[in-house]
Structure 1
Amino acid sequence: MTLKISKLNAAYKAHPVLKNINIELNQGQVTVLIGPNGSGKSTLLKCIAQIHPQYDGDVAWENHSLKGLAKRDLAKQLALLPQHVTAPNGMTVEQLARFGRFPHQGWFKQWRAEDQAAINDALSATGLAEMRNVPLSNLSGGQRQRAWIAMVLAQQTPLILLDEPISMLDIGHQADILNLVRELAKQGKSIIMVLHDLATAARCADCMIALKDGQIIAQGNSRQILTPALVKQLYNIEVEVQHARSLAQPDLRRLVVIPEHFGDPNPCA
C-alpha cells in the first residue's frame, strides 16, 4: 500500500467540507475523483498535498505521515497542479518548467545535467519542446495548461495530484495527456486526479472514488461506480450507461454515460 488516508476531516473555518475520509491506494494506480461541484474533491487533493489549513486525521505515504514534512522533502514526494494557477508576466514555457526542479536543487542551487534532462523530457511529453522560449502570455489556454503539466512532470515525484488537468484542452490534447497519465502509472507513479467527464474517467481510471457532500459514496472500478443508480445519487440526473468501443482504440471498451430525456430527441429534424 502506497497512500493511506485515515479518518480525515476537513473544514473551511467552521464549515465541514470532508467527513471521515478513509482511502488506501496502491502504487502505479490512476485514481479519479468524481462528484458534483462542492463535494470536496479539490479539498481532498489539498489535504493530501498538506496545503489545506484545517484538517485532522492522517495522510501517510509509504507508511510515513506527510504531516509536518519540510516543504522541500514534501515536494520530492508529491506534485500538485491546482485547478486555477497563474504565472508571472513574461515567464516562458521553459522557465515555468524549471520550477519543477526546485526540490532537487542543492544548497547552492547548481543547475545539473539531470535537471535539464528532466525539463527536456517534460516539454517533449507535453508537446511543447518547440515552444520552450515562448512567453506563457502568448499561448492559448490549452497550451498554458500543458505548460503547467510540464512543470509537474519535471518535478519527477512518485505521487502526482491533478485537479481537472484536461478542462482547458481540446479532445486531441486531452487524449495525449490521459495517455501520458497511463504511461506514468505503468512506470510506477501514483496519480490522483479530478475529472468531470464520466466517460473519460472510466477510460483512464484504475480506481474511481465518488464524493458527495464531503463523504465517500462509493469506491471501485468504473463498472462498479458508473451505474445509473449511483450517477442519479451523485448528480440527480437519470442516465443510461452504455458500453461502446473507442474509435481510437478499437480493442478498448469504455463506459459512455448518456442522459435520458435530455434535450430535443430530434434536434436536426
Structure 2
Amino acid sequence: MECIAIDARRICAKLGNDEVLHGISLVLPRARWTSIVGPNGAGKSTLLKALAGLLPHSGTVALLGQPMAKMRGRDRARQLSWLGQNESSADDLTAYDVAMLGRLPHQAWLAPPSAADHAAVERALRATQAWDWRGRPLGQLSGGERQRVLLARALAVEAEVLLMDEPLANLDPPHQTDWLLMVRDLVASGKTVVSVLHEISFALQADELVVMDKGRVTHQGACVDAATHRALEGVFDHRIAVHHLAGQWLALPRI
C-alpha cells in the first residue's frame, strides 16, 4: 500500500441521467506521473473528478491508503491538490491572493497566512514563472498567464498527490515544456501527478498511461511499452501513430 497513491474500485458515475463511468477499477502508483488519455467523451475528466471526490459516484476510492469517504475534508485537501478545466476566480483578486488560496487547508479558521504560507506561495509562483505579476489582478492577465497562476495555486498546497485536468490549456510551447519539466521535478521529489491531457505526445512523456474509451479503461501500462502504443493507436481509430524520435515517444497524425 505504501507504493499506491490512489486505489479506485468499481467507480460508476452519471452526468444527468447518462452513466458515463462503467465500473472502473484502477491503481495509480505513488511517486509516478500517470496520464489519462482517450477520445472526446471517453470520461477522462469525469474519472479525474471522481478520484478527487468532486463528483458523486458509486464505488470506493482510497487516497494514500485511507478511504477518502472517511477522511476529513481538511485532511484530504492537504494531501490532494486539484487543477480543473476552465476554473474561475474573482478577477479582482491578485495573482498572489489566488495562489494563497492553495494554503487554506493549512490555515486555522480566519487566521492570517503564516510565514510558511507566504514561502510556499512564493515558491509556487516562481515555479510557474508568475512571480513578476504577483500584484496584478487576475482579470488583467492573458489566458496563459492566468493558467500559470491557477497552477501555482495547486502547487502551493504542497500536497502529496496532484490531479490536473488539461493543465496545458492556453500555454504556449515554451511554457508547456516548463510544465513538463516541473512535473518531472515533482515526481523526482516523491510527489504523485495524475493528468488528463489532449496533447498525446506530452502524455507519452509520463511514466504510465491510462487509455479510456466510452467510460471504461481499455489499457493501463508504461508509456514505453509496445502494448501501450498499440492501445493508444487503436482507441483513436489508428488515426495517429506512435514513433520514437530523438529519444522520445511521439504521436503523429497518420496521413
Q: TM-score band (shorter)? A: over 0.9
In the alignment, what sits opposite 1:101? 103
In the alignment, what sits opposite 1:248? none
Aligned partner (choices 243, 248, 252) of residue 254 of structure 1 = 248
Structure 2 residue runs without a partner (length 5+): none
Are 1:47 and 2:47 an aligned pair?
Answer: no
Question: Contact 1:231 / 1:238 at 8 angstroms: preserved in 2?
Answer: no
In the alignment, what sits opposite 2:131? 129
Distance, in Å, in 2 between the alignment partners of 1:30 and 1:81 is 15
In the alignment, what sits opposite 2:23? 20
Shift of 1:206: 0.6
Question: Contact 2:84 / 2:165 at 8 angstroms: preserved in 1?
Answer: yes
Distance, in Å, in 1 between the alignment partners of 2:29 and 2:208 is 10
Distance, in Å, in 2 between the alignment partners of 1:122 and 1:239 is 35
In the alignment, what sits opposite 2:74? 72
Distance, in Å, in 1 between the alignment partners of 2:162 and 2:151 is 10
Distance, in Å, in 1 between the alignment partners of 2:240 and 2:103 is 45
Distance, in Å, in 2 between the alignment partners of 1:19 and 1:99 is 34
Distance, in Å, in 2 between the alignment partners of 1:100 and 1:79 is 8
Shift of 1:74: 1.6
- 1:144-159, aligned counterparts within 5 Å? 144-159=146-161
**What TM-score results when the alignment is normalised by the length of structure 2?**
0.94
Aligned partner (choices 1, 10, 13) of residue 7 of structure 1 = 10
Aligned partner (choices 185, 189, 192) of residue 190 of structure 1 = 192
Q: Which letter does structure 1 place at the counterpart of 2:167?
A: P
Distance, in Å, in 1 between the alignment partners of 2:122 and 2:89 is 20
Aligned partner (choices 20, 31, 34) of residue 31 of structure 1 = 34
Q: Which letter does structure 1 place at the counterpart of 2:156?
A: A
Aligned-pair identity in percent equals: 34
Indicate the SS of the match to 2:162. Answer: strand
In the alignment, what sits opposite 1:199? 201
Distance, in Å, in 2 between the alignment partners of 1:125 and 1:98 is 14
Question: Contact 2:94 / 2:134 at 8 angstroms: preserved in 1?
Answer: yes
Structure 1 residue runs without a partner (length 5+): 246-252, 262-269
Deviation string 1:130-171 (CA, Å, 9 cap, x unpaired) is 110011111111110000000001111101000010121000
Larger radius of gyration: 1
Indicate the SS of the match to 1:223. Answer: coil
In the alignment, what sits opposite 2:223? 222
**What TM-score results when the alignment is normalised by the length of structure 1?**
0.89
